Each structure stands twice: as C-alpha cells, then as structure tokens.
Chain A
Amino acid sequence: MKDDLAKLIELIDNGGLNRRAFLGRTAAFGLTAALGTSLLPGAARADEPKKGGVLKLGLGGGESTDAIDPGLADGPVSFNVNRQWGDTIVNVAPDMSVEPRLAESFESNEDSTVWTFKIRKGVKFHDGSEMTPEDVAATFKRHSDQNAKSGAYGIMQGISDIKVDGDNVVMTMTSGNADLPYLLADYHLVVQPGGGVDDPNKGIGTGPYKIASAEPGVRYVFEKNADDWDTTRGHYDSVEFLVINDTTARTAALQSGQVHMINRVDPKVAKLLSRAPGVVVTNASGRGHYVFIMHCNTAPFDNNDLRLALKYAINRQEMVDKILDGYGSVGNDIPINKSYPLFDESLPQREFSIEKAAEHYKASGHDGSPIELIVADGAFPGAVDAAALFQATAKQAGIPLEIKRVPDDGYWSDVWNVKPFCASYWGGRPVQDQMYSTAYLSTADWNDTKFFNKEFDDLVLAGRAETDQEKRKEIYSKCAHILWEQGGVICPMFNDFIDAHAEAVAGWIEDSNLELMNGFATAKTWFA
C-alpha cells in the first residue's frame, strides 16, 4: 500500500491526476480525507478556498432554553454558536498543540505558577470597538465569579490573580500548572467587550461570523464578519444553523439537500449514510468515552479482585462493533487515550478473558449473589444494550450481573455518583491532568468511582507543575498503571465524533478535539 501511495503522489506531481481523483483513490485505501490531503505535496494543494455562499447546518443538541452567554453553553448547538461569533485566546490545534489566537504568544515562569499572555493588537469586536487586554482580563474574571455560573468556573479555580500589564495579561496560579494554555482554550472562555459583564447575552465577539438572528432551539443566522482579524477563515457569506434534534430528521435533511452539514450521526446509520449519493461521512476519534463505574469504597466493589474480575469479563471489541457499529475504539480502563498529549502507549491493552475473570472472581471470595448494575437509556447512547452484552459475557465467567433499568429522569442526580455500580459517560478533557483532576483525585467532587489513592493523588499534583515533558509523560504513565490495576472504572470504548457533509463542501480536516472540526468547520471549509 505504501508503494501505491508513492505512485499516486508521483502521478500528481507529473500532472497525471487531479486532487479530487487523488483523494478518491487514497480513500480507497481506507485513508481519511484528512490524511489524504496531508500527503499532497504543496504544489498540488493549490486548491484555494473559494469565498461566498450560504452554509446551512442541521445540528442536534439544542434547546429553546439555550442562552447566548458563552459561559452557559452546555450543549453541542451552543458550543457551535460560541465558535461562530467568538474567539478564545488560544486554541488546541488538530495536532493537539496549542495555537495562539487572540493571544499572540504566551510563556510561563520556571514552575508554571505565573503565566503571561501577550494579547494581539488591532483586533476589532463586531461593534467596531478595539479588543484590549483589559477585555481579556475582565472576561476571565467574569468566568471566575461563581454567580456567572460559567461552565469554565472549575478551570478558573486554579487562578488566584488576573491582571493587565501593558499588552499582556498575567495570571498567577494557586499552584503550578503547566497545562494552563490547554485549559484556556475551553470554548466557554470567549473574549467579550468588558468581559461581557454588562450583558453576557449580547453576542458581540471577534469571531468570523456575526450573529444576525438567534432563536434558541430553532434557528440561528450568522453573517460574515467583514473586519475579521484573521483573513484565512470565514469563507461563507453567511452561515445558518437549524436545530434538528431528531436524528432521522437530521439525516433526511442532509440527504434531501436542505442542509450541507450535520453533527451527531447515529453510528447505526453512519455506514448506510456514507453510501448515499453526494454525502460524505467523517469520523474523528475523540476523548469522549463510555464507562461502567464501581465505587471502590463500597462492598462488594471494595475488593480489587472483584473489580478486576469485572474488568476482564467485558468484551470491549464486541461493544465497539455492536454499540458503536465500529465508529469508536476500545477502551483500556483508564479515561485517557491516544487523543491526549503525553499519552503512554506502553500500557498493555486489557483483553476479554473468561479465565482471568473467573480466576479473579474466585479470588475475591464473592458470595455469588447478583451484582446490581444500574443503567438508563440516557447514560450513554446504547447503554442498556451495552449492559446486556456485559451481563452475557460476565455470565460466561460465572459472575451474576443483574441489570436494573431506570428512567433518564433524575439519573444524574439520584444514580450517578450515588449508587455503587452504574453506567455513565465522559466527554473527555483537553489534557490528562484535567481529566484526572475532575474525576479521579480523592478530593474531586465528581470522583465517581470513589477512588482514594494517595500515591495517585501525589503523582497527579506533581505532574501538573512539571514543565519537563519527558518527566511528565513518565508521571502520567504511572498514573495510568495505577488506575488500570486498581481503579473503579471499566472503560469499554471511546466513541468517535461522527459528522456528515455534502460533497459540495471542501476543506474538511480531521480534528478530534470536538465535533465538527472542533467547531471550526464553518470557519475553515468552503464551497468547492
């Protein structure tokens, strides 16, 4: 296959193959469009973005209750809305590096306790006013205020002081954090004039498109920001969001040509949809994952042999095949995968093994009474089916699982983080430290596996301040091993972001940060 690729690239260089044909043939090798594009030599990539047109998106995950306030964004639609009109000071690039945006550059002191962000000059807000370091500082201060109810409030907790110093915004941390730029790329932290303190719902930002009309849960219209500071993005004249929460309706809208792009394609129909004419289905392996969580401090799950027995008794590949229909990857009982920076590849993959499961179950001395696993449809898509598969494989190892199905209503308040064994999901975090700090530190509110391990806590805290990347990687490797061996999380699978777009849309690249190219699909693609 490698030779064939080399041949194709040569063909292009000699002018024997145009770009489209090249992409078509690389796709035949099972390469994604993104990889296909990156293989193209510079000369062949002369396909410049074209300007103009109205891009229509059919998006699931929006409600009439959504606000414009970027801090309150809690669903896919409000996330994408934030991306249209606003900018954060940095972004996480598709290659997982930090990309400067409204901050031109950034640096920290030796122990990562003081961070300095140099703010870009000459950037104008949609209302024509100049964006200043004061606006940036005010934005962060607003999100640090508990009353603002910002989704980024947790992130801001580690920052003790925010001040403006000339062109810079200087942040002092309560303790060293080498990951701060990753955290500040959070999509809630959209820079607003005066920090958005007066009216956070105004929707005035520095993004590629201006809000022309907003009807939450129904429809949003954005118009090209003619004064955009970044001239390499925003190729459409206008962008329209239609909120379509019903999966079938969303798919039909794309097929009938009423929209050009949709998010959240149901894995069960993704393969069928990819065969439809004029439609391209894309998937990016993300950091989101589905889990079964056991409370490590509650019988019978306080016995590590029993936890291991259950971990060995789950068939991860079968879950990926049947629950995700192949649009995902197997998990390894830690919340981290290769989409994270500093991921340690050396951790062995835990395989489904009836013998080992039976062996550990026996060693645990469990009395053989049914173990109750609580699930709801809303725990994650396909959760009830996944639990049934788990029950079947556990039975082969002689472990009696009893599935208790409960309604979605009240699941997150009455079951998750309360009952000792249930299904759940995580959307993932941009960096390992944040994922571990959110859900695996002894002190975390959401320590949903009740995992109290001093050694693990110390490692996570040490990793947070460590600036030497090699040493950090080593620390995170140790964390992963501890959690893999002793943790209360059974992670069968990581789910992909599956989006789809019309063939007329060009410039799609794979970005596994979040759906729709991390929300930048409208800014970076164009009509071919």
Chain B
Amino acid sequence: MVHPVIKLVAQRIALGLLLLLAASVLIFVGTQILPGDVAQSILGQSATPETLANLRQELGLNEPALTRYFSWLGGVLHGDLGNALTNGQPIAPALGKRLLNTLFLAACAAVIAVPLAIILGLVSVRYRNRWPDKLISAVTLATISVPEFLLGYIVIFFLAVQYRLLPSLSTVYDGMGFGDRLYAIGLPVIVLVLAVLGHMMRMTRAAILNVMQSAYIETAELKGLRPFAIIARHALPNAVAPVVNVVMINLAYLVVGVVVVEVVFVYPGMGQYLVDHVSKRDVPVVQACGLVFAGVYIGLNLIADLVSILANPRLRHPK
C-alpha cells in the first residue's frame, strides 16, 4: 500500500500541473483580447493597410486562435518559447537572464525578510500588548501601507540623494562582481523587505497566539519553562503550516509582483521586461512571462501545501 503522504504529494503535484495548463489557456485567451494588435503597435503611426496586412501575414496572426494555441503549447513543452515578434530574437535566453535577476533580488530580500519577520513575530508574542509588540506592529503596518513606489522614492531621497550611502540605480549587468551586485540592489532589497515584512510578521504573531491558547502551553508554563522557550520550542512548530503559507505567498509576490520596484530602481528583472513587451503587444513574450509567473506562483504554493502536510504528525504517522 502506498504511504498516504506520497499519495497526497502526488495528488498535489498533478493538481499543480493541471492548474498550470489552465493558466496557459487563460494567458493565451487573455493576450488575444488585448485591444489593438501587434502589427499595429509595431508600425505605430506609420501603419498603412497594406503594411499592416503584410506584417500580420508575416507574423502568422491570420491563423485561427486554436491552431496558434496548440502550436504554442507544443513549443513550450519542447522548451521552445518562440521568438519575440518585435526584435526577432529567441525569447528563452533573454527571459532566462531576466528571471535569474529577479530571483536574485527576491532571494536577497527573502533571506532578510523571512527570518526577520519570524523573529519579530516571536518577539511580539513574547511581549504581547506591551510596547515592543505595539512598536513592531505599528512600524511594519505603516511600511506595508505605503505604496511601494513611494517607499522607493523615500529611500532614494534619503539614502541615495541626501546621504549617498547606496546607489539609486540598481542596474546590474554581466561581468559584475557579486559584491557589486549586492551593493547595487541595496535599496530595492530594503523596499521589498519593508513591503513584505508586515504580512509575514502579523501572520506569525496571530498563528502563534492561536496555539498559545492550547492546554499543552499551559502545561509547559506550569513546568516552569521560560516564556521564550515555550514560544520557540512548543508553539512555533505547531504554527508552521499557516506561517509557511503566508511566507510562500510573499515569496511568490517577491518574484511576480515587483514590477513597480523594478521600474523605480531600474532593475533589469522580469517585471520591466514584461511591461516593455506588453506595451509593444509582443504576445509570445507576454505569454512566456505569464507562464513563468504562473509556474512560480503555483510551484511555491505547492511547496507550502507539502510543508503543511509534512508538518502534520497525523498525516506523517498514519495508524
């Protein structure tokens, strides 16, 4: 008999793939109903009916939508994302580079934000309703409430223009040293950390407080354990599932939702790349980006699900 955990995991992965397929249909349909068409926006003001017709023919825009969907999907399954309509270059290498940049930025932000959020959450619980708790909540809620671009401009104004501690531009390029890269992305990392910290911190706090009502916590207190040990050793492991879920949502956000931050700091990531091609109606690139974003989102949520399953002893040790 198959272990129920393996069965559950297999189920989740299959569901994830199905979801990805559904997302691909949505992306394809979505890009078809954008106003204007790619030929029109490539030619811009200079479009005449003949040149438009020629270009449409050349780009294969006259084929039926269903045919185009399946030929696109077939290509994707073979790892071929096609060529960009606007400059004729293959999409995969360009996209890969941008994706790596985005992942690098997201990883740097996550490395700081996740532990920080959890520690701040633990501290909040320890000093519940006293000034450290209130201060942490006030600050993180304030930073999460300010729009990111404004947060970006504020840190640029103080840290780049006034005090010149960090560069206001985060342009990274091939052949740049690791240290230089870290220095370049200092400001966007600060903004991203501030943007996601509040959510994770509050969730950690709420989840642990929920567990703190349990009888076994009372037992631990009666045993005479120190408050912080109770929170970290006894409460946190049982609050992992909701915390992991919210952490994953924020990680996904760090990858797919940072367009504005990338624009403000001129960071060559996926967001900027996507925006450029949306405005030019470069459909294959938009579809490829959409698919990658969907994949990241679904993948991270899958991981969250798996962690929640594995964190549940009743599932790990079936009778």
Please choose the segment from A407-415, A475-483, A494-502, A507-515 that sits at the chain B interface, where 4 or more of its residues have CB less than 8 A away.
A407-415
| A58/B36 contact (C-beta < 8 A), A67-B87, A446-B45 known | no
A252 touching B45, Cβ below 8 Å:
no
Complex formed: what's the CA distance from A216 to B173 in Å? 12
Contact of B277 among A64, A242, A258 (CB under 8 A): A64
CB distance from B105 to the nearest CB of A (A): 14
Please choose the segment from A203-211, A229-237, A243-251, A380-388 that sits at the chain B interface, where 4 or more of its residues have CB less than 8 A away.
A243-251
A409 touching B36, Cβ below 8 Å:
yes
Give the chain B neighbours of A218 by CB distance below 8 A. Answer: 171, 173, 268
Complex formed: what's the CA distance from A327 to B192 in Å? 36
Contact of A253 among B51, B87, B168, B272 (CB under 8 A): B168
B94 touching A219, Cβ below 8 Å:
no
Contact residues, A133-178 vs B (CB, 8 A): 146, 149, 151, 153-154
Please choose the segment from B3-11, B159-167, B244-252, B297-305 that sits at the chain A interface, where 4 or more of its residues have CB less than 8 A away.
B159-167
Closest to A448 in B: B45
Give the chain A neighbours of B276 by CB distance below 8 A. Answer: 63-65, 217
Interface string of A256-289 (1 = CB under 8 A from B): 1111000000000000000000000000000000
Interface string of B19-53 (1 = CB under 8 A from A): 00000000000000011100011011111100100
B86 within 8 A of A: yes
A213 within 8 A of B: yes
Give the chain B neighbours of A372 by CB distance below 8 A. Answer: none
B167 touching A445, Cβ below 8 Å:
no
A66 within 8 A of B: yes
A217 touching B168, Cβ below 8 Å:
no
A414 touching B36, Cβ below 8 Å:
yes
Contact of A63 among B173, B265, B280 (CB under 8 A): B280
CB distance from A254 to the nearest CB of B (A): 10
Complex formed: what's the CA distance from A74 to B47 in Å? 14
Complex formed: what's the CA distance from A219 to B276 in Å? 15
| A413/B168 contact (C-beta < 8 A), A245-B263, A249-B156 known | no
Complex formed: what's the CA distance from A392 to B304 in Å? 57
| A253/B36 contact (C-beta < 8 A), A65-B276, A216-B87 known | no
A215 within 8 A of B: yes
Give the chain A neighbours of B36 by CB distance below 8 A. Answer: 409-410, 413-414
In this complex, the interface size class of chain A, counting residues with CB under 8 Å from chain B, is 35 or more
B87 touching A66, Cβ below 8 Å:
yes
Complex formed: what's the CA distance from A253 to B51 in Å? 41
B83 within 8 A of A: no
Give the chain A neighbours of B46 by CB distance below 8 A. Answer: 151, 153-154
B104 within 8 A of A: no
A255 within 8 A of B: yes
B148 within 8 A of A: no
Closest to B167 in A: A258
B264 within 8 A of A: yes
B169 touching A244, Cβ below 8 Å:
yes
Closest to B58 in A: A147
CB distance from A255 to the nearest CB of B (A): 5
B44 touching A412, Cβ below 8 Å:
yes
Closest to B94 in A: A64
Contact of A413 among B40, B94, B160 (CB under 8 A): B40
Complex formed: what's the CA distance from A412 to B279 in Å? 12
Complex formed: what's the CA distance from A234 to B46 in Å? 34
B263 touching A246, Cβ below 8 Å:
yes
B47 touching A215, Cβ below 8 Å:
no
A256 touching B266, Cβ below 8 Å:
no
CB distance from A357 to the nearest CB of B (A): 31
B228 within 8 A of A: no
Complex formed: what's the CA distance from A242 to B168 in Å? 12
B73 within 8 A of A: no
B263 touching A65, Cβ below 8 Å:
no
CB distance from A19 to the nearest CB of B (A): 30
B87 touching A58, Cβ below 8 Å:
no
CB distance from A301 to the nearest CB of B (A): 21
Give the chain A neighbours of B268 by CB distance below 8 A. Answer: 215, 217-219
CB distance from B49 to the nearest CB of A (A): 9
B51 touching A146, Cβ below 8 Å:
yes
B127 within 8 A of A: no
User: By CB atoms of chain B within 10 A, which of A65, A245, A253, A259 has the most?
Assistant: A65
A65 touching B266, Cβ below 8 Å:
no
Complex formed: what's the CA distance from A315 to B241 in Å? 64
B282 touching A65, Cβ below 8 Å:
yes
Closest to A201 in B: B87
Contact of B169 among A66, A249, A407, A412 (CB under 8 A): A249
Complex formed: what's the CA distance from A149 to B55 in Å? 10
CB distance from B170 to the nearest CB of A (A): 10
Complex formed: what's the CA distance from A146 to B50 in Å? 11
Complex formed: what's the CA distance from A509 to B306 in Å? 65
Give the chain B neighbours of A255 by CB distance below 8 A. Answer: 161
B273 within 8 A of A: yes
| A242/B171 contact (C-beta < 8 A), A249-B156, A252-B156 known | yes
B169 touching A258, Cβ below 8 Å:
yes
Q: Considering the complex of A and B, which 8 residue pairs feature the smallest CB-CB distances, nearest first? A: A65-B86, A410-B35, A410-B36, A63-B276, A218-B268, A64-B276, A256-B160, A252-B168
Give me 18 other A-B pairs in contact (C-beta within 8 A), A151-B46, A242-B266, A249-B266 excluded: A64-B94, A64-B273, A66-B87, A215-B173, A217-B268, A217-B272, A244-B169, A244-B266, A249-B263, A249-B264, A252-B168, A256-B160, A256-B164, A257-B164, A409-B34, A409-B35, A414-B36, A445-B48
Interface residues of A (CB under 8 A from B): 58, 63-67, 74, 146, 149, 151, 153-154, 213, 215-219, 242-246, 248-249, 252-253, 255-259, 407, 409-410, 412-414, 416, 445-446
Interface residues of B (CB under 8 A from A): 34-36, 40-41, 43-48, 51, 54, 84, 86-87, 94, 153, 156-157, 160-161, 164, 167-169, 171, 173-174, 263-266, 268, 272-273, 276-277, 279-280, 282
Can you name 23 A-B pairs with beta carbons within 8 Å?
A64-B94, A64-B276, A65-B84, A66-B87, A67-B87, A74-B44, A213-B173, A217-B276, A219-B171, A244-B266, A245-B266, A248-B153, A248-B156, A256-B160, A256-B164, A257-B164, A258-B160, A258-B169, A259-B169, A409-B34, A412-B41, A413-B47, A445-B48
